[in-house]
Chain A
Amino acid sequence: MGATGTTVETTVEIATGTGWVTICPYDRLTPGRGVAALIEGEQVAVFRTRAGELYALGNRDPFSGAYVMSRGIVGRRGEVPIVTSPMYQQAFDLRTGECLDEPTTPDGTPAALPTWRVRVRS
């Protein structure tokens, strides 16, 4: 997380337990939006901010259970970069995965999203 891409012909990669997996060319990511990726059967949401930073979080929205986080709106709340769930609009800290609106889901589980390491490789 927190890498910056500048040059063309670069790719976005996410760390698995055993190495780095290529997701897509950096330029395929729209500033201010996310995409979903399938990594060893798990769903990861990868975001690019307006300033060019990359973040990767779990794609599952803990409030609805649906795998939709990559389709949320990316923005800022104060200094915190956030993504807002497209389902019920809770905001999550892109850096930590922590939910800024509610600490737990209605069934009592923590509302944080898992985070993944992400980088740009030229």
Chain B
Amino acid sequence: MTDAQQTHVVLVGHGMVGQRFLEALTEAEPRPPGLRITVLAEEPRRAYDRVHLTSWFSGTTAEELSLCGDGFAAEHGIDIRLGDPVETIDRAARTVTTGAGHTVGYDTLVLATGSYPFVPPVPGHDTPGCFVYRTIEDLEAIKAAADRARIGVVVGGGLLGLEAAGALTAMGLDTHVVEFAPRLMALQIDDGGGRVLRRKIQDLGVTVHTGAGTRAIVDRAGRVAGMVLSDGTELAADLVVFSAGVRPRDQLARAAGLAVGERGGIVVDEYCRTADPHVLAIGECALAVDGRVYGLVAPGYAMAEVAARQLVAGPPDPDRTFTGADLSTSLKLLGVDVAGFGDAHGVAEDCVEVLYSNPQAGVYKKLVIGADGRLLGGVLVGDADAYAQLRPLTGGPLPVPPEQLVLPTAAGPRVRLALPDTAVVCSCHGVAKGTIRAAVTEHDVVDVPGVKRRTKAGTGCGGCVKLIGGIVTEELAAAGIETRRGLCEHFARYTRAELYEIVRVKGIGGFARLIDEHGSAEGPDADGCEVCKPAVGSILASLSGGHILDGEQAALQDTNDHFLANLQRNGSYSVVPRIPGGEVTPEGLITIGEIARDFGLYTKITGGQRIDMFGATVDQLPSIWQRLVAAGFESGHAYGKALRTVKSCVGQTWCRYGVQDSVALAIELELRYRGLRSPHKLKSAVSGCTRECAEAQSKDFGVIATAEGWNLYVGGNGGTTPRHAELLASDLDHDTLIRTIDRFLMFYIRTADRLERTASWLTRIEGGLDHVRAVVMDDALGICADLDELMGRHVETYEDEWAATLADPERVRRFVSFANAPGVPDPTVRFTPEREQIKPVLFERLEVRGR
């Protein structure tokens, strides 16, 4: 590529930093003429988000992790070649040669080869059953092995090691963490924080060994059977994951005669250049001018920007250099907040530490203050809410006495610090608060996704998203823009959750009283609408019980609840009897079959392990249910915002792999929560082992059996935006499980918005899953007794809606097609045969005259 007009940039490695480099290069305007870009990568995939790698275990797909969309390369004319690593560099000829034998010339070579996991060279370290934790392929291999394993050991108690331990635990393995240093996360936090973190991790069922080295891996019949620790202790293990740090991949540069550090890393200057002006190195493979190799994404991104800058903007810009970065980190490990920032270990001369430690509550907070009163750094474990505010203030004076920042909220008011505009909110992309404010005030951005699109803030590690949300709300409020939150025009001042509280506290039993006393309209006979009526109907049904078709409640229900059946496109209805846990007797199946046959209904098996019968007219519904009720069936509430089904796998009774009786538990749960009205439908499932055949992790509440008890997952759903459920609690015994689900459901019903599934509720509410856990497991709000009582009342007062309807002629009387011609079926509901069943006849145009 010696054409004088052309500059050929060759990037070696397509990881996160490499991708950021490509983005910085292609975003430059104007694009330098003649710029040609080729990427040569060893991995078989384009760049993906390694920071969130662990989320692959909880269902995030490789596609979702991808950072480089299908169109990116084509759009920018970049030639990306995957799966063919560069093996040699010929600096004299300015070419590189790949494993497959291709030789590619370059004008500028950018090495972004990343790092490799360090595996201690102990005997047996390469026995089958030993893994590292770096790529999606590694995770696939771990997952496959975990299926056959019972005990897993993670070597390394750092960030990645603990993530790996969390993943193994979630897959049902007995998990150990072996850390050489005297504490967990030795780099980021101090001894005090380490102790609190250790305690919290152990509470989750992980066994922690600190100050322990690995002497050997025990190999039995060619597979891992255990390991020997440095003190001679032997641990049984079926699977070992090495996560003991990473080493820079500098072999290419080393072989090409470029300088590397004593402990590895390609030596670069503040512009990320090697001694060869045509070769740059960025990210984890580079040794920065401060003598460090950075294994975090934010410094890597900063290096990518610096490198790209000089390729597109001519001579190096002394204002854009990389001379080092701090190692601040904030993350959630196994549900535990951990953050370390600035001088976390307090090494500065004459510094003092202000700390609050409460091992009982699992909270540890320490601030390091300089002799001159400036904030130098800190460690936060168990509650890192303050991190987003504190990190940007590091290096400057504290606006309030430091003790106010570490004491728990109950001991004093939570302090909100005003960040200066210059404070960097997103350190991954170097976005300052002023830039985010400007996005709102000058570019009409109104939410976090808007900020992400406009400024990139929040699109790296995501740790600052909460802070961004706060800034946006603050700016909108300052501009007088109020976020509309009322239910609808008739209850403009109240959210659904607030109306629920009003109904509960005042014991309101009907819509009329609620709208008269709390509605927005003045005067008598105010009326609601299609939004507030069903919402209030649901609240009344959740709280007061009673039949949903009685009295005033009748007018609140939408057509499905009004006819206790599901409206279909031609005006007919479908009928779903409850089949708890999906267990049904042959007699039951025959009865359903006979009823469907006798009424000429179309039958289909549902996704929730029941049978749906379609094509019933309004006047057929009571007759159909007469027979179903006589055969012992109850309403399945397929029509209601209520518990639908609790699906189950066949469980321990029959299945060779089952460890608990999932069917019995599913039936118990379905019978307990049947008829429970909620802000949206509720779906559930119970799996009898970690293979998860019941797909419990896609449900509002899902239960998976473990050897010790049950794991409870919440907040999953399918639909337009599928979301995997998150682990709320593990290894619960039967009674604790039921109590926890009781409270979770009642807390959701109490606080969710209208038509808000548990998934979006969990995302929306402040504190998310942790808050819910604190409320339902530790009674943080002191409301558990209330929640328990409400659920107790629900269970006690449940009655089958259909049996109750049939028992009352007044209720049955509404099931007619025509008020002036009872008994006449609706002539417009017609069917035609298809595949030996019926299907609706579409409507011919029929003009109706008005008079």
Contact = CB atoms under 8 A, between A and B. Distances in A.
B529 A82 contact: yes
B850 A73 contact: no
Contact of A67 (B529, B552, B562, B826): B826
Contacts of A75: 490, 527-530, 532-533
Nearest to B821: A38
Interface in B795-851: 813-814, 817-821, 824, 826, 828, 842-843, 845-846, 848-851
Interface centre among B814, B818, B824 (most CB of A within 10 A): B818
A17 interface: yes
A22 B533 contact: no
A30 B817 CA distance: 16
Contacts of B843: 65-66
Contacts of A31: 552, 555
B492 to A, nearest CB: 12
B779 interface: no
Interface in A92-114: 97, 114
A17 B489 CA distance: 39
Contacts of A35: 818-819
A97 B850 contact: yes
B132 interface: no
- Contact size range, A: 35 or more
B248 interface: no
A87 interface: yes
Interface string A45-70: 01001110000001110001111100
Interface stretch (B71-79, B96-104, B180-188, B564-572): B564-572
Contacts of B826: 36, 43, 67
B382 interface: no
A77 B552 CA distance: 20
A77 B817 CA distance: 28
Contacts of B489: 77-78
A38 B41 CA distance: 73
B554 A33 contact: yes
B269 to A, nearest CB: 64
Nearest to A70: B819
Interface centre among A24, A71, A91 (most CB of B within 10 A): A71
Contacts of B322: none
B534 interface: yes
B848 A38 contact: no
A50 B525 contact: yes
A23 interface: yes
B828 A16 contact: no
A22 B559 contact: no
A21 B848 contact: no
Given A66-B569, A68-B559, A86-B567, A38 B820 contact: yes
Contact of B828 (A46, A66, A77, A81): A66
B676 to A, nearest CB: 22
A97 B851 CA distance: 12
A36 B817 contact: yes
B558 interface: yes
A97 B558 CA distance: 20
A32 B527 contact: yes
Contact of B848 (A17, A37, A58, A74): A58
A62 B845 CA distance: 10
Given A15-B851, A115-B850, A81 B569 contact: no
Nearest to A83: B530
- Contact size range, B: 35 or more
A33 to B, nearest CB: 5
Contacts of B828: 43, 66-67
A121 interface: no
Contacts, number: 126
Interface in B544-560: 552, 554-556, 558-559
Contact of B850 (A28, A58, A65, A67): A58
Contacts of A33: 554-555, 562
B341 interface: no
A113 B657 CA distance: 60
B533 A73 contact: yes
A18 to B, nearest CB: 10
A38 B822 CA distance: 10
A108 to B, nearest CB: 12
Contact of A86 (B533, B558, B814): B558
B512 interface: yes
A92 B666 CA distance: 44
A34 B23 CA distance: 60
B491 interface: no
A50 B519 CA distance: 15
B490 A76 contact: yes
B271 interface: no
Nearest to A50: B527
Contacts of A116: 850-851
A45 to B, nearest CB: 10
A28 B559 contact: no
B563 interface: yes
A73 B558 contact: yes
Interface string A1-37: 0000000000000011100011110001011110111
B820 A23 contact: yes
A114 B12 CA distance: 71
A22 B851 CA distance: 16
Contacts of B813: 28
Interface of A: 15-17, 21-24, 28, 30-33, 35-39, 42-43, 46, 49-51, 58-60, 64-68, 71-78, 81-82, 84, 86-87, 89, 91, 97, 114-117
Q: Which 5 A-B pairs have the closest CB atoms?
A: A114-B850, A32-B555, A65-B843, A86-B559, A75-B529
20 contacts: A23-B819, A24-B820, A32-B554, A35-B819, A36-B819, A43-B848, A46-B819, A50-B555, A66-B570, A68-B559, A68-B567, A71-B563, A72-B530, A73-B533, A74-B555, A75-B528, A75-B529, A75-B533, A89-B530, A116-B851
Given A50-B525, A58-B850, 15 more contacts: A15-B851, A28-B813, A31-B555, A32-B533, A32-B554, A36-B817, A37-B820, A38-B820, A38-B821, A38-B824, A67-B571, A73-B530, A75-B533, A76-B528, A91-B529
